[in-house]
Amino acid sequence: MIRKYLHDGIPTFFFNYDTGAPFTRCTFCDGKLDAYNKYMVEKHIRQNTVLHSREIVYEYALCWGCASNMGSEISDDSKQAIQQLFAAHGETLMRKVDYLHTTKQYTLDSWMERCSLTGKEIRLCSEFSASALVEDGNLVFEQTPLVISDEFMEKMQGVLSKETKEGFDGLRDKIMDGSPSVEDLVYGPVPGLL
């Protein structure tokens, strides 16, 4: 059973890095995020596990309208492969979500300690991605915050079709204000999949 808990406000981790405040506009359409009652935030983080340092590779906010349209960028083959991949790891996610709801651990650290789909500790990842759902100005603890390890990102990249990868090139350019090399983002999640 899916349960939902609305946290009071948005933790600073999911704030816009440049402004130090919650996102106000959709990264893709530039529309106001409050035009919908919910939106998504995703951050991709590279970390140095030796120096215990982190840097944001990219971040974005996605209004619910753009999130609803994002599926058209994914080929049918990729959709099926992604569904199979998530189904194969879904039990880990459901156990994690059930445990955290049962113990009422509604702190960001509790939800972001391990990959939601593999269970790998985030502190051991060279890269990870975190996404959250914001509803009426509050963080939603449901199946989000969703944390994806470098290990799962690699698996996801392995199942995407060439067509889907090419379809997301423009989205990555928009997020990063440039054209990142494939090598820099080989383990990066595909925008909007999370």
Kind and range of the H or E element at 23?
Answer: none
Cα-atom radius of gyration of the chain, to the nearest Å?
16
Local confidence band at 179 (pLDDT 50, 70, 90 cut-offs) = very low
Q: How far apart are CA 23 and CA 180, in angstroms?
A: 23
> HSE-up of 7 (CA within 13 Å, CB side)?
21
CA 126 – CA 152 distance, rounded (Å): 12
Cα separation, 85 vs 117, whole angstroms: 10
The reported pTM is: 0.80
Asked if pLDDT for residue 67 goes beyond 90, the answer is no
Is residue 193 predicted with pLDDT exceeding 50? no
**Lowest mean pLDDT segment, chosen from 19-33, 79-93, 141-155:** 79-93
Residues paired with residue 121 on neighbouring β-strands, in sequence order: 114
Nearest to 21 by CA among 32, 35, 10, 29: 10
For the chain, what are the domain ranges? Answer: 5-176
